[in-house]
C-alpha cells in the first residue's frame, strides 16, 4: 500500500510540473472570436452551419412568442463553452423574453442563456438540462446538431406554454397555518429513547421527501418521453404516398409496398414497444426502483431515436425511387428518339452512297441488345442499373449521330480533297527534281508510294462504315504530306543558303586579308608602344591565315566541280566554313572595339593638348588686338609656362613605350597652368577696358577739377607702366568723384 501511495504522489507531482511548464511556456493561443451582433436568429461565427438549416431554424422560431437565438462556434477552445457563453453574456444584454443558445460543434454541446421570463415561468437550469438530455443529446450523438437544437426549442416552447396555462388557471393558494405550539413545559432532561426516536423519525421523513422528489422528477421525464413518442407517431401518420403508385408495373409496386410495409412496422411495433417500455418504467417507479426506471427510460429514448432515423431513411428511399423512375422514363424516351433518327439517317446514307456500312449497322443493332438488357434489369426490379444502362445508351446514340453527320465530309475528303492534295504533292516533287534540288526522282518516290498505299485503304474503310478509322487514317496521310512539304522547304532553304555562302565567301576572304594587313602594323605598334602582347585582337590575327586558307580551298573545290550547284557533295564543308567565318566576323567587332579602347587614352590626351594650345593662342590674340604699350611680366610669364607645360605633355606622348600615367599627370599640370593664364588674362583685359572707359567719361572734368585731374593722371601713368589693376583703381576713384560732384550717370 505504501508503494502504491508513493507512486500516486509521484504521478501527481509530475502532472503538476507538466501543467506549470505548459502555462509558463511562451505560447499564445487565439481564442474563438465573439459574434459582432445578435441581430439574426442564427449567428454562425465560423460558417459551419448550412444555409438550409439556418432558414429552417429561423422559420421555426419566427412564429413563437419568445425570442430564440442561436450562436454557433466551431470550437470554443482554449476557453470552455461555459466561459465562452459568459463572455457573450458580458458583451450583450439578454432580454427578459429571450433565450440564447451557444452551440459548440466540436464538443456537440450547448450552454443556455435565458431571460428573466423563462425563470419566472418555471424553466430553470435543471429543466433546461433535462430537455437537452431528452431532445438535443440523442441527435447530437448522431451528428445532426441542428435537428437536435430545433427539437430542444420545440420542447422548451411547449413547456413554457404549459406553465403559462397552469399559472392562468390557478388562483392564489392560501397556506393553512400551522397550529400554535403548546407551551413548552419545563423539562429538565430528555430520555435517551426519546432522542433516538426523534432521530429515526427525522431520517424517515427525509428519506420520504427525497424519494417523493426523485419520483416526481422521473415521472416528469416519462411524460416528456411520451410527448416525444406522440410527436413521432404524428410524423409517421403524416407520411403519405400518392395513390398513383397502385397503377405502376409490378416491380415498381413492390418498391412502394416495401416502403409502406416498413412504415407500418414502425407504426405498429415500434410505437407500441415504446408505450410498453414507458409503462414498465412507471411500474418500477411505483416500487421506488429509480435506477431501473431511468435505464428503461433511456431504452425508450434510444428506441424513439432509431424510429426517427428510420423515418428519415424512408423519405430518402422514396425520393430516390421517384427520381430513379423519372430518369429511367426520360432516358428511355430520349434513347428511342435518337435511335429512330439514327436509323433514318443511316438508311439515307446507304442509299445515297450505295454501300453497306455494316459496321455502323452493327452499332445500330447493338441498341436492341442493350434495350433487352434494360428490360431484364427492370423485370428484376434493379431500376438503378436500368437507369445507368439507359444513360450509357443515350451517350452512345449521341456519339453515333455525330459520326453519321461526318460521313459526307469524310466521303468528300476521300474522293476529292485528299486525291487533289496527293496529286499536287506529286507535281511539286517533280518540280523540285526538275529544278535540280535533288539528285533524282527516287528521293520522293518512296514517300509518295507509301502515301498512296495508305490512301487506297480509305474507300474500303468507308464502305465498311469505319468512319472513325477513316478519319484517323486521313489525319495520318495529311501528316505524311506535311512532312514531305517540310522536307522540300528545308531543301530549298539549304540550296538558297548554299548559293548565298558561295557568293559571300569571297567578300569575307577579302575582309580577312585586309584585317591581316592592317593588324600586322597595328599590333606591332601596340606591342612596342603599349607593351600589349595578348588579347582578342592578337587571337583574331592568329586565326586569320587558317580561316582564309579554308575559304580558298573550299572555293577551289566548288569551282573545280563539274556542277557548281552540287550541294550534296560540298554542302557540309561549305556550311562548316561559313559557320567559322561567321564566328570570325563576330570576333572582328570585339577586336575593333578593343583597338579603339587601346588608343582612346592617347587620342583624348592629344585632343586636350590641342585644345590647350588653342586657348593660349586665343589669349595672345586678344592681347595683341588691344595694342597695349607693354604686357605685365605676370602675363608673359604665364604664357611661357603654359607653352612649356603643353610641350612637356607632347614629349611624353612621343615616348616609347607610352606611359599614360605620366601623360595624365603632366596633362593635369598643363590644364592648371592654362586655367591660371585664362583667369589672369580675362581679369587684366577687363581692367584695361573699364579703365579706358572711365578715363574717357571723366576726362571732361579734368580742366576745372584738380582732384579728378590728379586721379586721372595717376591712372594714365600706371596704365603706361602696365600696372593695369592700379590704373583701374585710380580711374574708378576719379569716376566716383565725378558722380558725387557732377551727378555723372553710371552706365
For residue range 343-379, list pLDDT tens digits in order.
888 888 888 888 888 888 888 888 878 888 877 777 7
Where residue 112 falls among pLDDT bands split at 50, 70, 90?
Answer: very high
Q: 302-317 burial, b for 16+ CB within 10 Å, e for fewer?
A: ebbbebbeebeebeee
Q: What's the confidence (pLDDT) of residue 714?
A: 92
186 pLDDT above the threshold of 70? no
Least confident of 84-98, 511-525, 557-571: 557-571
Q: What's the confidence (pLDDT) of residue 27?
A: 33
CB count in 10 Å sphere of residue 233: 18
- Report strand pairing: 67-73 vs 42-44: parallel
Task: Give me Rg for the CA atoms of the chain.
Answer: 59
Q: State the angle between helix axes of 442-456 and 418-434 in degrees (0 to 180), rounded to the nearest 10.
A: 170
Report how far apart the first and last C-alpha atoms of the chain are (Å, whole number). 126
C-beta separation of 667 from 609 below 8 A: yes
Q: What's the confidence (pLDDT) of residue 282?
A: 65
Q: Which domains does the chain have, with CATH numbers?
A: 42-161 (3.10.310.50), 628-742 (no CATH)
C-beta separation of 66 from 117 below 8 A: yes
Higher pLDDT, 692 or 303: 692
CA distance 692 to 732: 10
- What is each CA distance from 53 to 36, 42, 146, 228, 693, in whole angstroms? 21, 10, 7, 21, 107
Q: Could you give the 3-state DSSP secondary structure of residue 99? A: strand
Where residue 672 falls among pLDDT bands split at 50, 70, 90?
Answer: very high
Count of H-run helices and E-run strands, the chain: 23, 4
288: left (phi over 0), alpha (psi -120 to 50) or beta: left
C-beta separation of 451 from 481 below 8 A: yes
pTM above 0.85, yes or no: no
699 pLDDT above the threshold of 70? yes
For residue 109, report the phi and psi dihedrals to the nearest 5 degrees: -145, 160
Average of pLDDT values for 548-565?
73
For residue 459, report the phi and psi dihedrals to the nearest 5 degrees: -60, -40
511 pLDDT above the threshold of 70? yes
- Using the Cα atoms of residue 241, residue 247, residue 248 and residue 250 in order, give the sign of their dihedral: positive
Contacts of 606 (CB under 8 A, 6+ apart): 653
* pLDDT above 70: percentage of residues in the chain: 81
- Residue 42 DSSP code: E
**Where would I find the H helices in 92-191?**
116-120, 125-131, 137-142, 145-169
506 closest CA partner among 548, 534, 465, 544: 548
* Cis preceding linkage at 78, omega within 30: yes
129 closest CA partner among 229, 230, 223, 221: 221
411 pLDDT above the threshold of 80? yes
Average of pLDDT values for 384-413?
86
Least confident of 15-24, 69-78, 329-338, 344-353: 15-24
Q: State the angle between helix axes of 250-265 and 358-380 in degrees (0 to 180), rounded to the nearest 10.
A: 30
- Using the Cα atoms of residue 108, residue 214, residue 162 and residue 170 in order, give the sign of their dihedral: negative
Contacts of 345-350 spanning 24+ positions with Cβ under 8 A: 345/401, 345/404, 346/404, 349/404, 349/407
Q: Could you give the 3-state DSSP secondary structure of residue 298? A: helix
Higher pLDDT, 519 or 714: 714
CB count in 10 Å sphere of residue 446: 9
CA distance 591 to 535: 9
- What is each CA distance from 223 to 142, 226, 268, 691, in whole angstroms? 24, 5, 21, 132
Model confidence over 189-209: pLDDT tens digits? Answer: 456 666 677 777 777 676 666
Amino acid at each position: 500500500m505504501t508503494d502504491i501511495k508513493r507512486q500516486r504522489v509521484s504521478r501527481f507531482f509530475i502532472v503538476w510540473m507538466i501543467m506549470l511548464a505548459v502555462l509558463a511556456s511562451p505560447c499564445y493561443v487565439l481564442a474563438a472570436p465573439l459574434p459582432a451582433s445578435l441581430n439574426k436568429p442564427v449567428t454562425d461565427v465560423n460558417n459551419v452551419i448550412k444555409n438550409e438549416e439556418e432558414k429552417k431554424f429561423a422559420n421555426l422560431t419566427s412564429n413563437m412568442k419568445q425570442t430564440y437565438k442561436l450562436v454557433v462556434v466551431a470550437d470554443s477552445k482554449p476557453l470552455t463553452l461555459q466561459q465562452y457563453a459568459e463572455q457573450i453574456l458580458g458583451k450583450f444584454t439578454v432580454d427578459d423574453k429571450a433565450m440564447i443558445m451557444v452551440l459548440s460543434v466540436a464538443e456537440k454541446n450547448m450552454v443556455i442563456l435565458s431571460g428573466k421570463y423563462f425563470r419566472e415561468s418555471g424553466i430553470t437550469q435543471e429543466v433546461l438540462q433535462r430537455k437537452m438530455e431528452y431532445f438535443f443529446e440523442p441527435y447530437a450523438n448522431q451528428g445532426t446538431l441542428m435537428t437536435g437544437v430545433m427539437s430542444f426549442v420545440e420542447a422548451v416552447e411547449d413547456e413554457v406554454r404549459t406553465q403559462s396555462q397552469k399559472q392562468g388557471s390557478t388562483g392564489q393558494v392560501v397556506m393553512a397555518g400551522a397550529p400554535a405550539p403548546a407551551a413548552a413545559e419545563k423539562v429538565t432532561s430528555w430520555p435517551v429513547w426519546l432522542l433516538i426516536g426523534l432521530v429515526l423519525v427525522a431520517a424517515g421523513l427525509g428519506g420520504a421527501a427525497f424519494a417523493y422528489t426523485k419520483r416526481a422528477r422521473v415521472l416528469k421525464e416519462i411524460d416528456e418521453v411520451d410527448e416525444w413518442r406522440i410527436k413521432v407517431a404524428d410524423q409517421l401518420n403524416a407520411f403519405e404516398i400518392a395513390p398513383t403508385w397502385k397503377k405502376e408495373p409490378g416491380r415498381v409496386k413492390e418498391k412502394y409496398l416495401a416502403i409502406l410495409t416498413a412504415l407500418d412496422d414502425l407504426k405498429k411495433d415500434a410505437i407500441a414497444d415504446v408505450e410498453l417500455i414507458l409503462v414498465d418504467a412507471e411500474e418500477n417507479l411505483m416500487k421506488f426502483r429509480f435506477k431501473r426506471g431511468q435505464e428503461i427510460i433511456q431504452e425508450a429514448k434510444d428506441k424513439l431515436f432509431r424510429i426517427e432515423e428510420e423515418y428519415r431513411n424512408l423519405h430518402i428511399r422514396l425520393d430516390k425511387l421517384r427520381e430513379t423512375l423519372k430518369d429511367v422514363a426520360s432516358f428511355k424516351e430520349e434513347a428511342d428518339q435518337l435511335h429512330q433518327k439514327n436509323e433514318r439517317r443511316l438508311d439515307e446514307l446507304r442509299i445515297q452512297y450505295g454501300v453497306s456500312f455494316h459496321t455502323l449497322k452493327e452499332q445500330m443493332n447493338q441498341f436492341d441488345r442493350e434495350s433487352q438488357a434494360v428490360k431484364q434489369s427492370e423485370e428484376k426490379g434493379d431500376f438503378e442499373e436500368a437507369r445507368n444502362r439507359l444513360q450509357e445508351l443515350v451517350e452512345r446514340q449521341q456519339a453515333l449521330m455525330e459520326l453519321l453527320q461526318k460521313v459526307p465530309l469524310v466521303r468528300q475528303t476521300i474522293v476529292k480533297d485528299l486525291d487533289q492534295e496527293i496529286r499536287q504533292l506529286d507535281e511539286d516533287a517533280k518540280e523540285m527534281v526538275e529544278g535540280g534540288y535533288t539528285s533524282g526522282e527516287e528521293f520522293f518516290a518512296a514517300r509518295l508510294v507509301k502515301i498512296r498505299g495508305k490512301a487506297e485503304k480509305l474507300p474500303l474503310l468507308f464502305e465498311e462504315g469505319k468512319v472513325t478509322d477513316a478519319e484517323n487514317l486521313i489525319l495520318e496521310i495529311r501528316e505524311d504530306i506535311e512532312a514531305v512539304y517540310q522536307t522540300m522547304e528545308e531543301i530549298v532553304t539549304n540550296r538558297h543558303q548554299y548559293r548565298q555562302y558561295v557568293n559571300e565567301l569571297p567578300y569575307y576572304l577579302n575582309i580577312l586579308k585586309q584585317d591581316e594587313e592592317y593588324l600586322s602594323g597595328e599590333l606591332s605598334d601596340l606591342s612596342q608602344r603599349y607593351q600589349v602582347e595578348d588579347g582578342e585582337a592578337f587571337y583574331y590575327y592568329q586565326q586569320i591565315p587558317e580561316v582564309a586558307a579554308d575559304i580558298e580551298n573550299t572555293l577551289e573545290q566548288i569551282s573545280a566541280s563539274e556542277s557548281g550547284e552540287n550541294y550534296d557533295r560540298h554542302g557540309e564543308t561549305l556550311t562548316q566554313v561559313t559557320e567559322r567565318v561567321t564566328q570570325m566576323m563576330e570576333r572582328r567587332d570585339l577586336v575593333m572595339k578593343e583597338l579603339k579602347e587601346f588608343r582612346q587614352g592617347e587620342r583624348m590626351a592629344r585632343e586636350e593638348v590641342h585644345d590647350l594650345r588653342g586657348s593660349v593662342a586665343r589669349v595672345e590674340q586678344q592681347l595683341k588686338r588691344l595694342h597695349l604699350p607693354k604686357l605685365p611680366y605676370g602675363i608673359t610669364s604665364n604664357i611661357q609656362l603654359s607653352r612649356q607645360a603643353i610641350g612637356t605633355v607632347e614629349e611624353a606622348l612621343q615616348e616609347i613605350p607610352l606611359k599614360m600615367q605620366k601623360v595624365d599627370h603632366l596633362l593635369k599640370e598643363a590644364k592648371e597652368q592654362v586655367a591660371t593664364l585664362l583667369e589672369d588674362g580675362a581679369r587684366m583685359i577687363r581692367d584695361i577696358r573699364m579703365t579706358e572707359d572711365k578715363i574717357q567719361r571723366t576726362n571732361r572734368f579734368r580742366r576745372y577739377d584738380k582732384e579728378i585731374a590728379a586721379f586721372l593722371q595717376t591712372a594714365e601713368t600706371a596704365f603706361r607702366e602696365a600696372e593695369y589693376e592700379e590704373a583701374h583703381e585710380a580711374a574708378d576713384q576719379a569716376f566716383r568723384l565725378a558722380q558725387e560732384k557732377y551727378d555723372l550717370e553710371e552706365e
